[in-house]
Amino acid sequence: MACLAFAFALLPGIDIVAQRFEWSAGIERALVIATCIGFFVALVLT
């Protein structure tokens, strides 16, 4: 459950940083997808 909470807490942070540094939507989308994939990998490994 801690991994899930961390992943969902990280998503708004990604949005804030992406707006601050004026990243394109593609970069932000890739980071969100990587976070989701990382959550499922952590879920399988634990």
Q: What is the pLDDT of residues 1-46, one digit of tens each?
A: 677 788 788 888 888 888 999 989 999 999 989 988 988 888 888 7
Please give the residue range of the domain that contains residue 18.
2-45
| Contact assessment for residue 14 and residue 35, using Cβ atoms and an 8 Å cutoff | yes
In the prediction, which pLDDT does 30 show?
93
In the prediction, which pLDDT does 10 show?
85
CA distance 39 to 7: 7
Domain count, the chain: 1
CA distance 41 to 45: 6
In the prediction, which pLDDT does 14 show?
87
In the prediction, which pLDDT does 20 show?
92
